[in-house]
Amino acid sequence: MPKIPPARPGMDLADVDTPALLLDLDAFERNLQRMRESLAGRNIMLRPHAKSHKCPQIALRQIALGAVGVCCQKVSEAEAMVEGGVPDVLIANEVVGMAKLRRLAALAKQAKVTVCADDAGNVKDIDAAAHEFGVVIDVLVEVNVGANRCGVEPGEPALKIAQAVAACRNLRYAGLQAYQGAAQHFRSVGERRTAIAAAVDAVKTTLALTAKAGLPRGKVTGAGTGTYLFEAASTVYDELQAGSYIFMDADYARNDWTESGIPRFEHSLFVYATVMSRTREDIAIVDAGLKASSVDSGMPRVADFPQAEFLKASDEHGVIRMNGSSGFNLGDKIKLIPGHCDPTVNLYDHYVCVRGGKVEALWPITARGAVW
Amino acid sequence: MPKIPPARPGMDLADVDTPALLLDLDAFERNLQRMRESLAGRNIMLRPHAKSHKCPQIALRQIALGAVGVCCQKVSEAEAMVEGGVPDVLIANEVVGMAKLRRLAALAKQAKVTVCADDAGNVKDIDAAAHEFGVVIDVLVEVNVGANRCGVEPGEPALKIAQAVAACRNLRYAGLQAYQGAAQHFRSVGERRTAIAAAVDAVKTTLALTAKAGLPRGKVTGAGTGTYLFEAASTVYDELQAGSYIFMDADYARNDWTESGIPRFEHSLFVYATVMSRTREDIAIVDAGLKASSVDSGMPRVADFPQAEFLKASDEHGVIRMNGSSGFNLGDKIKLIPGHCDPTVNLYDHYVCVRGGKVEALWPITARGAVW
């Protein structure tokens, strides 16, 4: 991490050095409120995904507005959240290997910790770690509800893992992890609704079997920003795991939201960049490339200049075709909307939080690089 | 950065937690030697690019084997190198804006610092910063030799910037930056040779004009791992900026090297990953996704398992089709060859340096995140 930060509180936005990760606090706070309002009066809890922001300061703001806790993907991410004051963390993912499971069990002494499983051998390992540390760990069975990533198939295979959990002395069977990740970026509302309807059916099939087997119902948790109101309307989900709603990246913005009921979240996260070379007609080179904005889900968009097009990124450069826009003089600073927020946030050590053209705070991204 | 590191010196490789960035020290050292041997007897210096490794420990090893210094892309990267003991840094890039230029001038009090320029206004700003700090800064004119990124056109436009530099009291005109970045990944040797021949012509045209105008020749610097022996053979280049040769990523490995004269550098950099879910036939899910290996130049390759195919990456997961390979049991650890080394290295805080199946050292990636 560079010793000299790109900004100080009180500084004008125009003086922030680049590239920097800007958080527009007004837009961010409106997104938090919109999420709260969209769930008001529904019998469902929000457990936002912290893999999007990796920042306890944001997690605590989400909890202050009613979230029950956060999700994490990795033990090290959960460690950072607990150290930052978050009292309840669900690792919405499998944790494999005794080294990680011992850290998980140690963490369960400090906070409420839940983890997912999709394998009977792994369940035994979690139990052994819990025993070693003298804790009881809540375990959700991850069900493959269409994303085809982790998770056992719904029905009998899921029941078997649930029974394996229930048979362990140091574990508590806590319900089902049922996240349809693939559906989040299906562009049409119809495709997303159909995918979630299938996920809900898979959950219901599994719940019927676990009930028949005498297991407690536990909770059902899942959903992302692209679909969360469909899961909320299903009545089988108890917790929603949306994360990206706070930032709204360029790729999510390409979804159709019409008649989804999901509010129009605003872009609140930007990569601030400087025009650093202007030797060719209609082309501006900015100082933000692959190390400043992840391009896995497409190039960033140029904020405030709808005609301008971010053509390509190399390690430290971005090539923008201005398409006749002015405002790209050498040294001008512009804002980019990242293609994909989560891996972009993971490149930075701080959010430069901005309101009314001034830097209000620097929030450390304490779980940056927390991949293990 | 997570508080608990993924490895300790002396540990068995099998005990390293994942994902982790492994450096195979034997392969790395052979790559350093191969580069040295390939330049032996030629009248040309190596100034390897530190944007690939971001690690003073590696820079100092390169210098110990004859490199004259390193290249950097950013001031913060140069600051990290100088702090780590590197005495001579070329910022092979434009530095725009007085905030950055003041840091550059401050750095020039501690080490030999050279920077590039492609704009007369920027040249004046560099001069002002140098004056403010009481230093003389070496400036190279960046010439567009075919990459179409930064740089002025060869010939008269380049001469004008060179003259602007020479007219400044606190600057020294030091020659030409002539890097053909686009050519590095042209797959065929013929295409790469042709592109470098055109770059050499552009350099010669420009050198003829600067000589005629009475400017000192200065040096010509450029080249990457894909082409460096062609620049070396041209007799107009004085310094080579190859960086990736130390690691050799999957994308560079797709180049044809036959009859290029360039040695076959080995893969020395790996992302160590654990199989974390095995619920589907012939599919293994590993714990390394977009935040563990940059996919901008394609998916990682699976080392040691030529049949296995890394199909896709999400934030924290990789999907591998085993194509019948065994060795992907739950909890097994495998090595991935990153698609693109530079942005992958930028995700990690340490190299886990391995020799003979043991962790020999952890080298901090002190310029990780140094984008401004």
Whether B172 contacts B188, CB under 8 Å: no
CATH classification at residue B68: 3.20.20.10
- B4 vs B109, higher pLDDT: B109
Which of the listed residues B202, B218, B246 is the one where a domain comes to its end? B246
Whether B36 contacts B66, CB under 8 Å: yes
Most A CBs within 10 A among B95, B145, B279, B366, hence the mutation to make, goes to B279
State the Cα angle at B32 between B28 and B38, rounded to 5°.
140
Contacting A residues, span 275-304, partner chain B, CB-CB under 8 Å: 275-280, 285, 287-288, 290-292, 294-296
Query: What are the Cα distances from residue B209, in Å, to A12, B134, B175?
Result: 44, 31, 12
What is residue A4's predicted lDDT score, i.e. its pLDDT?
A: 78
Residue in chain A closest to B2 (alpha carbons) equals A370
A269-280 and A20-24 strand pairing: antiparallel
Closest by Cα among A138, A134, A137, A164 to A152: A164
pLDDT tens, residue by residue, A184-234: 999 999 999 999 999 999 999 999 999 999 999 999 999 999 999 999 999
Q: Is B372 inside any structural domain?
A: no
What is residue A101's predicted lDDT score, i.e. its pLDDT?
A: 98
Closest by Cα among B308, B300, B298, B292 to B352: B292
Q: Is A110 inside any structural domain?
A: yes
A244 and A277 both lie in a single domain: no
A352 and A235 both lie in a single domain: no
Cα–chain-centroid distance for residue A22?
Answer: 17
pLDDT tens, residue by residue, B78-109: 999 999 999 999 999 999 999 999 999 999 99
| A346–chain B nearest CA distance, Å | 7
Partner residue opposite B369 with nearest CB, options A97, A348, A370: A348
A305 and A187 both lie in a single domain: no
What is residue A50's predicted lDDT score, i.e. its pLDDT?
A: 98
Q: Is A260 inside any structural domain?
A: no
In terms of residue numbers, what domain contains A240?
Answer: 42-248
Residue in chain A closest to B150 (alpha carbons) equals A277
Neighbouring CB atoms inside 10 A of A211's CB total 11
Most A CBs within 10 A among B12, B149, B333, B368, hence the mutation to make, goes to B149
Q: Is B8 inside any structural domain?
A: no
Partner residue opposite B73 with nearest CB, options A150, A157, A315: A315
A94 and A171 both lie in a single domain: yes
Kindly indicate whether the ipTM for this predicted assembly is greater than 0.95, answering yes or no: yes
B156 and B116 both lie in a single domain: yes
Residue in chain B closest to A340 (alpha carbons) equals B315
A216 and A289 both lie in a single domain: no
- Judge: B276–A348 Cβ closer than 8 Å, yes or no: no
**Whole-number average pLDDT of chain A:** 97
- Judge: A313–B292 Cβ closer than 8 Å, yes or no: no
A199 and A342 both lie in a single domain: no
Report the number of distinct structural domains present in chain B. 2
Find all residues with CB under 8 Å of B117, minimum gap 6, and list them. B94, B123, B126, B139, B140, B141, B142, B161, B165
| B371–chain A nearest CA distance, Å | 6
Decide if B362 touches A, using CB distance below 8 A.
no
A212 and A170 both lie in a single domain: yes
How confident is the model over B251-272, as a mean pLDDT?
A: 96
pLDDT tens, residue by residue, B354-365: 999 999 999 999
Whether B219 contacts B195, CB under 8 Å: no
Which of the listed residues A248, A278, A312 is the one where a domain comes to its end? A248
pLDDT tens, residue by residue, A43-102: 999 999 999 999 999 999 999 999 999 999 999 999 999 999 999 999 999 999 999 999
Write a three-state SS string for B132-165: HHCCCEEEEEEECCCCCCCCECCCHHHHHHHHHH
Decide if B251 touches A, using CB distance below 8 A.
no
Indicate the pLDDT class of residue B26, thresholds 50, 70 and 90.
Answer: very high
B297 and B153 both lie in a single domain: no
Q: Is A346 inside any structural domain?
A: yes
Q: Is A210 inside any structural domain?
A: yes
pLDDT tens, residue by residue, B282-336: 999 999 999 999 999 999 999 999 999 999 999 999 999 999 998 899 999 999 9
| B58–chain A nearest CA distance, Å | 17
**Whole-number average pLDDT of chain B:** 97
A113 and A190 both lie in a single domain: yes
Indicate the pLDDT class of residue A5, thresholds 50, 70 and 90.
Answer: confident
Partner residue opposite A144 with nearest CB, options B74, B80, B279: B279
What is residue B22's predicted lDDT score, i.e. its pLDDT?
A: 98
CATH classification at residue B287: 2.40.37.20
Decide if B231 touches A, using CB distance below 8 A.
no
Whether A310 contacts A319, CB under 8 Å: yes
Q: Is B98 inside any structural domain?
A: yes
A226 and A106 both lie in a single domain: yes
Residues of B in contact with A103 (CB under 8 A): 4
Which of the listed residues B190, B211, B246 is the one where a domain comes to its end? B246
Asked if residue B343 has a cis previous peptide bond (ω within 30° of 0), the answer is: no
Q: Is A133 inside any structural domain?
A: yes
In sign, the C-alpha dihedral spanning A185, A188, A191, A195 is positive
Indicate the pLDDT class of residue A2, thresholds 50, 70 and 90.
Answer: confident
A162 and A297 both lie in a single domain: no
Whether B144 contacts B157, CB under 8 Å: no
